[in-house]
Structure 1
Amino acid sequence: MAKIKLTRNELKAQKESLKRFSRFLPTLELKKLQLELERRKVVKEMDEFRKKITSFREDIQSWQNLFCENYPKDVQHLVHISNLETQEINIAGISVREVVDVSFEVDEYDLYLTSPWLEKGIDVVKKIIFFQEREKSLRNKEQVILQELRKTTQRINLFKEKLIPECKENIRMIRIQLGDLQAAAVGRSKMAKQKMQPKGGTQ
């Protein structure tokens, strides 16, 4: 604990600090609660999204091996991301960018030299890529929330375990010192009055 001056001005400063810390702490605790709720929402959304991906992969499993055929490229290499559409969302005071849509470019291919299923395969690849980008976006969102949650928890602990207790202890010490000084001043005043009183006696 840093050494402080045991003065009335310092007492006033410590009281103001305590008031400020005590006012800010509930805001931090509310932010922590919001972040915890948002994290639970993201985890639930990720679980549901992974189930959707698993279900989709099971649906295409029967003809998924066709993706390995070359015309002269396999279908995965025909499809490229041209743009990621994102939106900025605010979570308990922090900004997070989230993927909402994906635009694609498809290499040219010869309709006469490719199998009839290729167009369906391209649509499937687009959907898989969208799933991957969306899942990556959700993971990033969770990491941002977790990082902010750790920072907020550290600040709460700093306020609760260090700053507020230190202020209270400083206030207690200053009050004791000022009380002692006041008592000493009263004592000196009484002694001075006694010395100033005329001594009694007979001539």
Structure 2
Amino acid sequence: MAIKFQYNKTSLGELGKQLKMRQKALPTIKSKESALRSEVKKAKDSAQQFRERYEALGAEYDYMVALWGEFDPDLLRVADVELTIQKIAGVRTPVLQDVLFEQKHYDLFSSPVWYADGVDILKRIARLGIEFEVFNRKTELLDYARRKTTQKVNLYEKVQIPGYEDAIRKIKRFMEDEENLSKSAQK
């Protein structure tokens, strides 16, 4: 990206301001990138732990697989998922507060004994699945923000700051040459 400029003091001043602004912003953006990188790693680790816990619960579910044929699927459903927003390094991420279930009443005496355990397992599986999805979404948001911040850091470090420094150097040399020419012409 070539920086457009004119060979005069006004352009020199404007380029100087732009350069200072980017040099002051660069450490902040770098720290944001670092914070986002660590948060992405934490979120991925948490998602992995949720996946492992979900697989363990799945094994518990599979243990009773022969009995699930007689389980009433209308007995339990997710009524609501309560989410809040948490800002992490300027990125709004979802946080699971609570999962509300709607459970139909069933007769404890006429229904199988394992229904209570089955309802509990289904609640835990549903909650863990929802938590896993929330963490996946959080990881996606943080990773996207990290990539954008990394792009901005690279843009500042490798393109704009060197470009502005080069343009300022060119303007200063041009103005020095003009001054030298005018002095030599006066002699």
TM-score, structure 2 as length reference = 0.91
Alpha-carbon contact 1:100-1:134 (below 8 Å) kept: no
The whole-number CA distance in structure 2 between the counterparts of 1:36 and 1:114 is: 51
Residue in structure 2 matched with residue 101 of structure 1 by the alignment: 98
Which structure has the greater CA radius of gyration? 1
1:120 to 97, 117, 121: 117
- For the pair 1:158 / 2:155, whether they are aligned, the reply is yes
Deviation string 1:6-54 (CA, Å, 9 cap, x unpaired) is: 0011111111111111111111111110011001111111222222222
Distance in 2 (alpha carbons) for counterparts of 1:62 and 1:158: 55
The answer as to 2:145 corresponding to 1:148 is yes
One-letter amino acid matched to 1:66: L
User: Are 1:134 and 2:131 matched, yes or no?
Assistant: yes
- Structure 1 residues 180-191: aligned runs within 5 Å: 180-190=177-187
**In 1, distance between residues paired with 2:60 and 2:108?**
25
Kindly indicate whether structure 1 or structure 2 has the higher relative contact order, using CA contacts under 8 Å at least 6 residues apart: 2
Letter in 2 for 1:28: I
Superposition CA RMSD, Å: 1.7
What is the aligned partner in structure 2 of residue 5 from structure 1?
A: 6
Once the two structures are TM-superposed, the CA of residue 110 in structure 1 deviates from its matched residue by 4.2
Q: How far apart, in 2, do the equivalents of 1:174 and 1:4 lie?
A: 9
AA aligned to 2:171 is I
The number of equivalent residue pairs is: 186
Farther off after superposition, 109-118 or 177-186: 109-118
The answer to whether the Cα contact below 8 Å between 2:3 and 2:167 also exists between their aligned partners in 1 is no
> What is the TM-score of this pair, normalised by structure 1?
0.85
Q: Which amino acid aligns with 1:43?
A: K
* Local SS of the residue matching 2:179: helix
- What is the rounded CA distance, in whole Å, between the counterparts of 1:96 and 1:118 in structure 2? 36
Stretches of structure 2 that go unaligned for 5 or more consecutive residues are none
Deviation at 1:95, TM superposition (A): 1.2
**CA distance, structure 2, for counterparts of residue 35 and residue 46 of structure 1:** 16
